[in-house]
Structure formats: structure tokens, C-alpha cells
Chains A and B, each alone.
Chain A
Amino acid sequence: MAFDKVELKDIEVWDGNFAASQALRQCQIDVVAAYPITPSTPIVEGYGNMKANNQIEGEFVMVESEHAAMSGCIGAAAAGGRVATATSSQGYALMVETLYQASGMRLPIVLNVVNRALAAPLNVNGDHSDMYLGRDSGWIQLDAYCPQDAYDLNFIAFKVAEDHDIRLPAMVHQDGFMTSHTAQGVHTLDDDTAYGFVGDFQPMNDMLDFEHPVTHGVQTEEDWHFEHKARQHNDLMTKVLPKIQTAFDDFEKISGRKYNLVEKYDMDDADVAVVCMGTSVETAREVAGEMRAKGIKAGVVGIRVVRPFPFFEIAEALKEVKAIAALDRSSPNGAPGMLFNEIAGALFNTDTKALLSGYVYGLGGRDLTKKHLVDLYTELQANVDAGKVTTQLQQFIGVRGPKLSFL
């Protein structure tokens, strides 16, 4: 069946959702099985519109829930095709059971996650609760900071996930509303260049290859379960980051845009660093530049690959700084935040004497203002000057009521 290519301008004004829709169209996906949920709905809505306009050849399967959406994706991926979908928040939570099925069955599905808070109380706005919920699910997790990233990282996700040395599903995360519904200039790839980068889908152990029958979704008890899980973890720990780096390098050649496992901004001589994800990385970059004009050597470290966690790269990025703030946009509910813990682990056996403190911020879409970040950098500098963390180790940014701090 023929389909129409689309002429794009070099720079299109797209929000993160439509940027993801366009990337999915250009990747020529065989099956999208999807169920709508705010704020990710426009990804599959836009994609469905392209399908109706004969710009897409693949199948679009409308299902009755997110659990069914991912189940449909798993079936299609096992059958042997390029597969993708999108979700957020409660829909993501409903998918969780099937997320583990997808990764355990080594099926290279791409899931666009438009990050949103988890109820209760119900909230449609952006935080990283859903991203954090899936971080042990065995998926690769890439994080976009703006609509351009949401577009580009979809190509990276297919390229890495479908590699026969990897065969693991991948999520592309973007901040609900702050990226998904924010229109900005996006530099595009033409259809042929984009498709050429991801290439034709190469099936592996596909169920529709009747010459080579295979079984998917088997049961293993204590005899083999551990070996399967250990092998999956091994591949995540040893194979995925080098493949992502190669994909980033190749992508730079066709786009001129350079991505890194850990993004470093103003870090060469930084005394104080903020480590964060999503749109906050860009706002922090702007504030870091302004802090430097005030004499505080501020830098920003952005996590580009959440899973597998770039343990050594993050230690390398932070080894010279004197004070670090780890910003988590998800309630840890009874523990330090995820980034605080991962960074502490990455730095613990190194020579660093950096002062590490954790901050929980932005839950349910609460604004992270430049003023918050100015205060944060100022506090980090005060820690440096005092030679110790002058506050408790865990604080909350931007929450009303009595000041909350713990640990």
C-alpha cells in the first residue's frame, strides 16, 4: 500500500506531542495500539490524523485500555514488526504489568511517556512520578528537555531498541504540558533522512517466521527465571549505553545536533551544580548563566538517559564540584529522592568531597521559577562557603505552608 511523504519546513513550530507524532510517522511503524490519556493524547491523535490522510502505511489499533494498548504492542512486536505507542500517568500505571512483559520478552517497543503526576489527588499536570514508577521495569528510558529533544530521541529510541544486540523496549520521556503542549521551533529531518537513520525493521525471533518457530511469553520457575533476569540486566548494564552513544554520534552526523548520556552545561569550572531532568534542565541552564554574572560558578548536569543509569558518566561529570543539588520531581514517599540516591551511589567510592543535598520540587506541575533556582544556587554556594551542608539533606522547593525538610 502506498502512502504520501510529507514536505516539512526546516524549522516547524511544534509542541512536544506533535514533534513525537511526526517522528513516529517518519519511522514508518507497523503497528500503533493506543488508548488516549492527558497529556499524551495528541501524540496518537496526531498520528491517527496522519493515518487518515494516507501519510502512514501501518496499522492503528484502537483498544479499550492502556493495559490492552501495551498488550497489543507486545503481540505485534512478537509477531515481528516496528511498534510504538504513547501514554501518561494513570495509563502508564495501568500498563506497568505489561511493561515488565515487554522487556522480559525482549521486544523493542517504543513508548512515548508524557510525564504527569499520579493520583490521588487527581492531577493532569507534569511531574516525573510516572517516569519513576517504571524505572525498574527493564526498559531503556530517555529524557527530553524540549520539543526538539522529543522529536530527536524517538529516532534514537528505535535505533537502539531494535538493535539485535539490544532487543529491549525504550521510553522517550517529555514533561507533560511544559514540553508536550509548548510549541517551539523544531529543526526537522526530511522523511528519507529520518527513515534512513532508523532503517528497515529487522525482525528477530518473530512469530510470523513459520520456517523458524519460536515461543514467546514462557513460564520459568526457579530453574531458569533468575538467568533470564540476570541476562537482561547484564545487557542493560553493559551493552545499552555504548549503543546509545553510537546512535547519538550517528545522529549528530545527519542532524548537527549532539546528545550525550549525561549533559553538562557550564561544568568545566563549576563550584556548584544542579542535577535534574526535563524542562528544568533548560531553565537551570539559563539561571546558571545569570549566577555566573553574579560571581557564583554555577553549572547544570542533565540526565539524558535515566535507565540504564549512567553511573560512571555522572561521577565523572560531578567529580570536581564542591556542592551538588539533586532535584527530584516525584515524591519519594519515605526515602531520599531517586537522583539523590543514584548520585550518592555514583560518588560514594570516589575521592570527591562534594556536598550533596536533595530537593523535591514541581509536583503536580507546580512551577519551578528562575527565582527558585537563584535561591538554590545561592544556598549551594553557602554550603561551599561553610564547608558543610547548612540545611537538612532533603528539602522541598515551592510548596506552601510551613517549611518542610528532612534527614
Chain B
Amino acid sequence: MLEIRWHSRAGQGAVTGAKGLADVISTTGKHVQAFAFYGSAKRGAAMTAYNRVNDEVIMNHEKYMEPDYVFVIDPALVYTTDVTINAKENTIFIITTHMTKEDLIASQPKLEGKTVYTVDCIKIAQETIGRAIPNTPMLGAFMKISEMYDIEFFKESMKRILAKLPQKIVDANMLAIQRAYDEVK
């Protein structure tokens, strides 16, 4: 079982990202689950979304998760929420930030000793899509770190999932995915 927790703000696209990732993975024959904690979330409120991936049918519906990956797609959530909660020894963190990894960890000591990768999904999204929607770049970074799929296969799959959007937006998302893939470190 592969488990992922997203930290996001309502409106940044974590749910869409989690569902899009699940959709891509499902086409490869694996079983998937994508869900989120909403509460009565208002736009901008901190929220979490989740993915489960397995070779068997996923029957576990508990919300509790000890994630293999943590995605943080809003830079401030590293300080205002505990992104390390219920983490395992080998949990991998991919965090959106404009800072270097060293400065980030120095600014949030809870990340000390964790496996942390950084990428500026907000800047990438602003420069490609034109809006601070950091969900698809995070998936590009995830493809690089996890080596789950070839990036070209992943982009082709995401084109299908985003197909209802205008072509210009789809193209911009592809650029964003590729840039995050190339820039995550």
C-alpha cells in the first residue's frame, strides 16, 4: 500500500490533484482511493487530501494515515499546521517553498532528519498557468522523486484528465509538470 497526504489550502487544487493522480494510476491496473478532509472549509482554509494505492482492492476507509509521501503545496502550511504528524521513519516530504532546503529545515525544526525535497510549485504555476494553482506541478515533482511513471506517459495521461479545460491551460499545465519534474531537489 502506498499512502500520500496532501497539505493544501481549499481552492489550491489538492482534491483535483489527488483525484487526477488516482485516475492516472487506475489506468495501470492498480486500485486507488482519493479523499479529503473538508469540514466546512472556506476558500483559503488549511485542508488535507489523501491517496491510497494498492495491488488489492482498498477496503480501508479510516481517515488515519501514516503516509509514505507528504505533499505540501502551500509554503506557509509548514508553519501553521504540523505537516509531520503521523509520519513514519521513511516518509518523504515534497514541499513547495522559495527557500533552499537548508533554510526551510532551519525555519521549521520538525523537518530535521526527515527526507525533504523542495520545489517552488507556486512560482512555477504562476509563470506557466498564470495562477497560483500548485497541484499539477507537485505531481510532476512526485514523478521525479518516486519514479512511478515515465514523465511523458504521465503528461499524456494528465492531458486526458484535463481535456475539458481550454487547450492553452492544458499546455500550460504540461509545462508546469515538466518544470517541477526538472526543478525539484
Contact = CB atoms under 8 A, between A and B. Distances in A.
B22 A177 contact: no
Interface string B48-77: 000000000011111110000000000000
B1 to A, nearest CB: 11
B60 A185 contact: no
Contact of A367 (B26, B32, B40, B63): B63
Interface stretch (A282-290, A314-322, A334-342): A282-290
Interface residues of B, number: 21
B3 interface: no
Interface string A82-124: 0000000000000000000000000000000000000000001
Contacts of A285: 59
A357 interface: no
Contacts of B39: 124-125
B35 interface: yes
Contact of A178 (B19, B32, B34, B61): B61
B62 A184 contact: no
B59 A185 contact: no
Contacts, number: 69
A279 B61 contact: yes
Nearest to A175: B61
A184 B32 contact: yes
B32 A283 contact: no
Contact of A183 (B33, B38, B61, B62): B33
Given A13-B26, A183-B19, A368 B62 contact: yes
Contacts of B34: 13, 182-184
B59 A11 contact: no
From A182, A285, A371, name the one whose CB has the most chain B CB atoms within 10 angstroms.
Answer: A182
Nearest to A372: B62
B23 A283 contact: no
A4 to B, nearest CB: 15
Interface in B1-47: 18-19, 22-23, 26, 31-36, 38-40
A183 B60 contact: no
Contacts of A282: 59-61
A22 interface: no
B60 A178 contact: no
A369 interface: yes
Contact of A185 (B31, B40, B63, B64): B31
Given A280-B61, A367-B63, A178 B35 contact: yes
B19 A13 contact: yes
Given A175-B61, A185-B31, A369-B63, 18 more contacts: A124-B40, A146-B61, A177-B35, A178-B35, A178-B63, A181-B36, A182-B33, A182-B35, A184-B31, A280-B61, A282-B59, A282-B60, A283-B59, A283-B60, A286-B60, A369-B62, A370-B60, A370-B64
30 contacts: A13-B19, A13-B23, A13-B32, A15-B19, A124-B38, A124-B40, A175-B61, A177-B35, A181-B36, A181-B38, A182-B35, A183-B19, A183-B34, A184-B22, A184-B32, A184-B34, A185-B31, A279-B61, A282-B60, A282-B61, A283-B59, A283-B60, A286-B60, A367-B62, A367-B63, A367-B64, A368-B62, A369-B62, A369-B63, A370-B60
Interface of B: 18-19, 22-23, 26, 31-36, 38-40, 58-64
